[in-house]
């Protein structure tokens, strides 16, 4: 029996340019894009380098090391799926390689702080592999 649509996990778009990112997470790694011209690195996936607009880039594997840039604590669920997780953080995390992404820091009982060292963990939510982080 599947959940009613309003109760289902809000699925990300795993097609198009982002398909590689989601497939990599499913295979157990976090990949990011790196420009072949200026060596800028970024997430989320896009067709051109956000710095020099070159369309030549490659996927690279992130080390999993990151730092906490910022976060907010959600006390209200903006989608029914997340009601059972309240309160939870939505965090801006910077990979050691440079790209930033919106994620969650899984750290029950831990006080979050700016520049906190983090380590990638890949968790499954409704059969979607998600990049989350824990204190390193």
How is residue 117 written in tokens? 């060292």
Verify binding: residue 8, Zn ion, rule CB under 5 A.
no
Closest separation between CB of residue 41 and Zn ion, Å?
Answer: 9
Using the rule CB under 5 A, which residue among 23, 47, 48, 51 binds Zn ion?
51
Residue indicated by tokens 């309240």: 86
Residue ranges in 23-42 that form contacts with Zn ion under rule CB under 5 A? 35, 37-38, 40
The pair phi, psi for residue 12, each rounded to 5°, is -75, 160
Using the rule CB under 5 A, which residue among 3, 19, 54, 92 binds Zn ion?
54
Nearer to Zn ion, 40 or 67 (CB): 40
Nearer to Zn ion, 8 or 54 (CB): 54
From 11-19, 45-53, 66-74, 112-120, span contacting Zn ion (CB under 5 A): 45-53
The total of other beta-carbon atoms located within 10 Å of residue 128's CB is 15
């Amino acid at each position: 029996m599947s959940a009613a649509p309003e109760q289902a996990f809000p699925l990300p778009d795993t097609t198009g340019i982002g398909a590689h990112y989601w497939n990599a997470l499913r295979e157990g790694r976090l990949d990011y894009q790196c420009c072949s011209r200026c060596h800028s690195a970024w997430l989320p996936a896009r067709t051109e380098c956000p710095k020099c607009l070159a369309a030549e880039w490659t996927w690279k594997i992130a080390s999993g090391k990151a730092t906490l840039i910022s976060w907010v604590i959600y006390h209200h669920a903006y989608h029914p799926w997340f009601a059972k997780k309240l309160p939870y953080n939505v965090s801006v995390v910077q990979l050691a390689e440079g790209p930033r992404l919106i994620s969650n820091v899984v750290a029950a009982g831990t006080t979050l702080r700016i520049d906190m060292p983090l380590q990638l963990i890949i968790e499954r939510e409704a059969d979607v592999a998600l990049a989350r982080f824990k204190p390193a």
